[in-house]
Amino acid sequence: MNVDLIRLTNVKKTYNTGVTAIRDLNLRITKGDFVFIIGATGCGKSTLIKMLYREEKPTAGQILVGGIDVGKLRNGKVYKIRRKIGVVFQDFKLLEKSTVFENVAFALEIFGIPKDEIHAKVVKALDLVGLKDKITSYPDQLSGGQQQRVAIARAIVNGPKLLICDEPTGNLDKETSKEIMAVLNEINKLGTTIIMVTHDIDIVKEMDKRVIELDSGRVLNDFERGTYR
Amino acid sequence: MKTFRIIGRNIRDAFKGVFRNFSLSFASISCITITLIVVAVSMVLSENVNNFTLLVEKDVTIVAFIDNDLEEKKIDEIKKEISKMSNVEKYEYKSKQKITKEMMESSEVFDSIMKNWDSSENPIQNTFQVKVKDINKINDTADKIKKLDGITLVKYGEGMIEGLISTFSFIHKICIGAVVALILVTAFLISNTIKITISSRQREIGIMRLIGASNLNIRIPFIIEGLILGILGSIIPIVLTIYGYQKLYDHFGGHLFSDFIKLIKPVPFVYATSVVLLSIGILVGMFGSWRAVKKHLKI
């Protein structure tokens, strides 16, 4: 049975500056999907995913993520949705002064999880992204691809149902991008829904997944698995 | 268990925060240290002035001179009248013989003069020595005593005492004002210093929020960090207070200018002052952090 993890109904977003980024957007994403969001700069891709993890609020319409009405969450309650979602960015957003282990463990420590359990989970996550041997390194001792893998490990260590990736390969070369995509594919196979914003058409073609193309804040095309060429 | 782990993590993170951002922490600590030193000096001054005032108040005595020809019965009546006065704390009748004896014991010159005098020639008068409860009403009490039948003269160092006490009370008030103003200024300065510290860690706060840290999760380590900064910042002022005041006390031999102005004994005074300094440091550090981090939580 296909269950919707994300459902957007008549969503509209206008910024305080008067710019409308999303217009009347309707979208459903099923649990376990791997979805690419593509489109020209300014088409509303970033706004869309920012609304999913409640960095931005919709001006109108409803956004349900895992049953939570994200648009109605108050600032003080945002953490509730964030704990269910992992987010990966183009610029990694790692704590420079913390080791790889600390960066990944950070998300678990907040919740008061026992030390040995944290250790086991962190090692497992780092193993999944292939960085088990870099546990004591600092971010600046790693390559861009490795840093992104740390960020992915941090995003999935808590076992989120949804992983949002905002151009995770934007700063990486072709080879490294491929490695990252392999890691993401692996995570998706384990059952995590992945939404990835990208400009890299080669990756999209190669991965052969569902592709949503936005234009001026609306869905221009929604290609089912394997139909985007 | 979970709560303890979270508390443990918060304390550990706070310590990490202090040492990983040491240059900014150092700025906050210096800021707390300098102000607390000034606060300590003001407190020592203010408390000592307050102490002088109390000592002076305790020492002030109204001396009422009695007509030497007055009968015992009449003296008893005056005694009764004085005991009825509301502002009188205690009183003592001193006969001229007693006063003479006391004076002869205290001064050799007086001793040698008086020895040659016959008791009928003794010019000293019988007196009542009265201590008052409220020094500010001493004038009224002295006037009342003066009006009693048989009293020839009333003396209490009028003018000088009032002047001294009002000066002391003025200095005391200024010191308290200075302490309060300093505490407010420090809170503001520390808040700003910590704000800079936190601004430089805005990224960190953003990441914490992204990962799913609640506002409390984020705020508590920073507030504990403020507490640590407060404790570290109050170390030097406390050491200075404890050793400095002891040195000062020993240097002056326990009193200033004359035996009359006694300094407060260092123990337990310095410890009480230290507790106050530490509390101010901690509160100001925590408040400063709380105020500064609040700004960064509105996403």
Across residues B76-80, what is the average pLDDT?
86
Q: What's the alpha-carbon Rg for chain A, to the nearest Å?
A: 17
- Which residues on chain A are in Cβ contact (under 8 Å) with B206? 93
- pLDDT 10s digits, A46-78: 999 999 999 899 999 999 999 899 999 888 888
Q: Which residues of B touch A156 (CB under 8 A)?
A: none
Nearest to B212 among A75, A79, A97 (CB): A79
* SS3 per residue for A130-156: CCHHHCCCCHHHCCHHHHHHHHHHHHH
User: H-helix or E-strand containing B154?
Assistant: strand B151-155
Count CA atoms closer than 13 A to B238's CA, side-chain side. 17
User: How big is the CA angle at B239 (ends B238 and B244), to the nearest 5 degrees?
Assistant: 105
Answer yes or no: is pLDDT of B69 > 70: yes
Residue B183 predicted with pLDDT over 90: no
Do A35 and A210 form a contact (C-beta atoms < 8 A)? yes
Residue ranges of the alpha helices (H) in A75-207?
A: 79-82, 100-109, 115-128, 144-156, 174-189, 201-207
Distance to chain A for B203, nearest Cα, Å? 8
pLDDT of A107 reads 79
Question: If you measure CA to CA, which chain A residue comes closest to B220?
Answer: A110
- For the segment B83-87, the average pLDDT, to the nearest whole number, is 86
Contact state of B3 with A95 under an 8 Å Cβ cutoff:
no
pLDDT value, residue A63:
95
Question: Is the distance from CB of A31 to CB of A43 less than 8 angstroms?
Answer: no
Predicted pLDDT at B167: 82
Check CB contact under 8 Å for A53 and B210: yes
pLDDT at residue B189, as a whole number? 75
Q: Say what the pLDDT of residue B15 is.
A: 84
**pLDDT value, residue B299:** 45
| Alpha carbon of A54: minimum distance to chain B alpha carbons (Å) | 10
Per-residue pLDDT averaged across A24-36, rounded? 93
Q: Are residues A112 and B3, on separate chains, in Cβ contact within 8 Å?
A: yes
Answer yes or no: is pLDDT of A1 > 60: no
Which pLDDT belongs to residue A229?
Answer: 62
Structural domains of chain B, ranges and CATH numbers in brackets: 2-56+163-297 (no CATH), 61-156 (3.30.70.3040)
pLDDT at residue A61, as a whole number: 94
* Chain A interface, Cβ < 8 Å to B: 53, 55, 75-76, 78-80, 82-84, 87, 93-95, 97, 106-107, 109-110, 112-115, 154, 158
pLDDT digit string (tens) for B274-285? 999 999 899 888
In whole numbers, what is the pLDDT of chain B averaged over residues?
Answer: 83
Tell me: pLDDT of B1 over 60: yes
Residues on chain B bordering chain A, Cβ-to-Cβ distance under 8 angstroms: 1-3, 5-6, 9, 20, 203-204, 206-215, 217, 297-299
> Do B212 and A110 make contact, defined as CB atoms within 8 angstroms?
yes
Q: How far apart are CA A153 and CA A134, in angstroms?
A: 12
The Cβ of residue B267 has, within 10 Å, a number of other Cβ atoms equal to 12
How is domain A1-43+51-84+176-229 classified at the CATH fold level? Rossmann fold (3.40.50)
Count of CA atoms in the C-beta half-sphere (13 A) of B209: 20
Residues A155, B209: Cα–Cα separation, whole Å: 13
Mutate to test the interface with B, among A78, A85, A150, A162 (most CBs of B within 10 A): A78
Asked if the Cβ–Cβ distance from B209 to A109 is below 8 Å, we say no
pLDDT at position A227 = 67
pTM higher than 0.80: no
pLDDT in tens, A113-139: 888 999 999 999 999 898 999 999 999
Residues of A in contact with B3 (CB under 8 A): 112
CB B5 to CB A106 under 8 A? no
pLDDT 10s digits, A187-229: 999 999 999 999 888 899 999 899 999 999 999 999 887 666 6
Q: What is the pLDDT, as a whole number, of residue B298?
A: 61
Confidence of residue A2 (pLDDT cuts 50, 70, 90): low
At A142-185, the pLDDT tens digits run 999 999 999 999 999 988 999 999 999 988 889 889 989 999 99
Residue B228 amino acid letter: I
Q: Which two tokens stand for residue B6?
A: 């979270």
Parse chain A into domains and list their residue ranges.
1-43+51-84+176-229, 85-159
- Are B130 and B62 spatial neighbours (Cβ–Cβ below 8 Å)? yes
Mutation site for A-interface testing, chosen from B211, B217, B294, B297 by largest number of A Cβ within 10 Å? B211
CB B297 to CB A75 under 8 A?
yes
Determine how many CB atoms are found less than 10 A away from the CB of residue A79.
Answer: 22
Residues B218-224, mean pLDDT to the nearest whole number: 85
Distance from CA of A73 to the nearest CA of B (A): 12
